[in-house]
Structure 1
Amino acid sequence: MDITTKNTAAPPPMSQPTQAERKRAARGATRPGDRIFLGLSRGSGILLLTIMAAIAVFLTYRAVLAISEDEGNFLTTFEWNTGTQPPVFGIAVLAFGTVVSSIVAMVIAVPIAVAIALFLTHYAPRRLSGPIAYVIDLLAAVPSIVYGLWGALILVPQLNGLFSWLDAYFGWTGIFDWQGGPPRSMLTVGILLAIMILPIITNVSREVFRQVPQAQEEAALALGATRWEVIRMAVLPFGRSGVISASMLGLGRALGETMAVATVLSPSFDIQASLLDPGGGTFAQNIASKFGEADTFGRDALIASGLVLFVITLLVNGAARAIIARRKEYSGANA
């Protein structure tokens, strides 16, 4: 009996479409709404880059006009006399004050903000975490001038005791040496800025900690870890890039804060070794206080200082981006 065998040979392989063919097919299958959305998204990105470039060109042009007539060293001069002939001005005091006050604010605000975020997400009951989070959200919406008035009327008079204590126990360091003047110093500015940026860092950190995979926390608990060990081994590593991003947002506000700083600081163009002695200044505070009475050349000089603040902000954001990029496993931006 003859048995007819079936042909079991594999069919010839189909040719794979080229990259150009796939692109053409994708363009043909794209709906009009998708094309419109793609165009709007691309246009928004190009518009943002154009605006940033226009700001940089404007600041650079006006800064060159002022710096070309400056008789002092723009980076190291401890004066700001744009109305004299010849004009002499520099940003040494402003750069020092801006950096120092922002560092003080970050040192105070970041640990407290992270602790509050951890408390709201992992310790506080729901009926308590909700109202606290709502109040923190409201604090983020308070205008800076309100913070400044509160700082001048409430905070500054209450800092005499703190300054006396710091001088008594840490005055030997020189950083906390107090000569008994009004507490309108860089430390005061740093404390006020810390209060202002605290809601921003707390809110972003809280949302990041909420995204920690529940399976990781349950696995750590199943292995016998305590709640703090769960936070240390699972929550904090996962949210590290988010906390860095939140801190950079807060730092950006601290660097550019104007009215609150101008309200509580006694500005002067000298650098004090102690954080408790009045004096110093910041870029934003100097621009706000002198812009109204400045002539055309004086405004160009202030714009030159604004260019330096613009560059500092870009460098800070670039550094934050580089730090986050090193944690690719936790950074959604690198996905």
Structure 2
Amino acid sequence: MEISTQHTDPAPPLAAPSTAVGKRAARGATRPGDRIFLGLSRGSGILLLVIMAAIAVFLTYRAALAISKDDGNFLTTFEWNTGLLPAKFGIAVLAFGTVVSSIVAMALAVPVAVGIALFLTHYAPRRLAGPIAYVIDLLAAVPSIVYGLWGALVLVPHLSGLYGWLDAYLGWTGILSWQGGAPRSLLTVGILLAIMILPIITNVSREVFRQVPRMHEEAALALGATRWEVIRMAVLPFGRSGVISASMLGLGRALGETMAVATVLSPTFDIQASLLDPGGGTFAQNIASKFNEATEFGQDALIASGLVLFVITLLVNGAARMIINRRKEYSGANA
């Protein structure tokens, strides 16, 4: 009996899907729909860059006209007198008020928003989670002026008790001391801004937590983890980048809020050591309250302050992107 010793050549390996997709992408779009979509996508990206550049050029030009005639230091002066000859104005108070009120708002809103998002996605029954999520969505659609009116008529009159308690127990810090008077301070602004940005952060964080792979949670449960341990080991690492992005969206609204801040704040061009004392100001509030009555030079000065707010926003977004890129290996979205 003769046994064949012939060997057959092994089948050629199949091309990896990623390689095939890369070759198709290298050849470019061939279908009319693909070409149209590619052109619209590129055009949209280029148009966005052009608009951003145009805004930056406009703000820089008008700001240079005003700063060149400023008799004070634009970055450190504690005055805003554009009607004088020579004019003297600066953004020290505005920068301080904008940054401090935004930090207060973020410190109050982010933990509460993440907690609500975790409750809706991992604790609340479906019949309860749906109505709560619907109400939060409605809060995101409330106009700023409505928040401002509510803050002036309801929030401010009822904060005296909180201010008195903070002064009694934490007034020794100096930051939370209160000398009496209407609670129209940066802390009030921060509380109102926290309420305004809470729906944005909650909604985005909730959608991110919903995208956590079910297998990750089931694997943690199979290893004996409690529900909180599942959230700590599987949910929060996966959604960290999304929570940072949601927080930056909320911070963007807090930095640029106008009417609500102008309604509840008693603006003055001085920096108070205590967050509870009336006074201070923000970029957006100052622009909204002075722009209509300003002269052409005064408008240029306000535009100069708007340029600083524009730069701050770009820096905040850039820092957020850096944090997300450094943490992306912990996110299941990149798996």
**Are 1:101 and 2:101 an aligned pair?**
yes
Tell me if structure 2 keeps the 8 A contact 1:324–1:331. Answer: no
1:243 is matched with 243
Alignment of 1:273-312 (within 5 A): 273-312=273-312
Letter of the 1:26 counterpart? R
Identity, in percent, stands at 86
CA gap 1:78/1:332 in 2 versus in 1, 3 angstroms: farther
Residue 25 of structure 1, CA deviation: 7.9
Residue 222 of structure 1, CA deviation: 1.2
Q: How many residues matched?
A: 328
Residue 3 of structure 1, CA deviation: 11
5+ residue gaps in structure 2?
Answer: 13-22
**Are 1:200 and 2:219 an aligned pair?**
no
**Are 1:211 and 2:211 an aligned pair?**
yes
5+ residue gaps in structure 1?
Answer: 13-21
Q: Distance in 2 between matches of 1:125 and 1:207?
A: 16
SS at match of 1:326: helix
Q: Distance in 1 between matches of 2:157 and 2:299?
A: 34
CA gap 1:230/1:297 in 2 versus in 1, 3 angstroms: same
- Residues 219-249 of structure 1: per-residue CA shift (max 9 Å, x gap): 1111111111111111111110010000000
2:163 is matched with 163
2:272 is matched with 272
Alignment of 1:43-82 (within 5 A): 43-82=43-82
SS at match of 2:260: helix
Residue 23 of structure 1, CA deviation: 7.2
CA gap 1:62/1:128 in 2 versus in 1, 3 angstroms: same
CA gap 1:272/1:5 in 2 versus in 1, 3 angstroms: closer
2:172 is matched with 172
**Are 1:26 and 2:27 an aligned pair?**
yes
CA gap 1:332/1:312 in 2 versus in 1, 3 angstroms: farther
Q: Distance in 2 between matches of 1:69 and 1:23?
A: 58
CA gap 1:303/1:234 in 2 versus in 1, 3 angstroms: same
- Greater CA drift, 215-224 or 188-197: 215-224
Root-mean-square deviation (CA, aligned residues, Å) is 2.4
Tell me if structure 1 keeps the 8 A contact 2:217–2:230. Answer: yes
Tell me if structure 2 keeps the 8 A contact 1:325–1:331. Answer: no
Q: Distance in 2 between matches of 1:24 and 1:228?
A: 44
Could you tell me the TM-score, scaled by structure 2's length? 0.93
Residue 329 of structure 1, CA deviation: 2.4
SS at match of 2:181: coil
Q: Distance in 2 between matches of 1:210 and 1:334?
A: 15
Alignment of 1:116-131 (within 5 A): 116-131=116-131
Could you tell me the TM-score, scaled by structure 1's length? 0.93
1:315 is matched with 315
Q: Distance in 1 between matches of 2:296 and 2:25?
A: 56
- Greater CA drift, 226-235 or 94-103: 226-235
CA gap 1:103/1:3 in 2 versus in 1, 3 angstroms: closer
Tell me if structure 2 keeps the 8 A contact 1:156–1:183. Answer: yes
SS at match of 1:69: coil
Residue 204 of structure 1, CA deviation: 0.3
SS at match of 1:117: helix
Letter of the 1:79 counterpart? E
CA gap 1:4/1:124 in 2 versus in 1, 3 angstroms: closer
CA gap 1:8/1:49 in 2 versus in 1, 3 angstroms: same
Q: Distance in 1 between matches of 2:217 and 2:196?
A: 32
Letter of the 2:27 counterpart? A
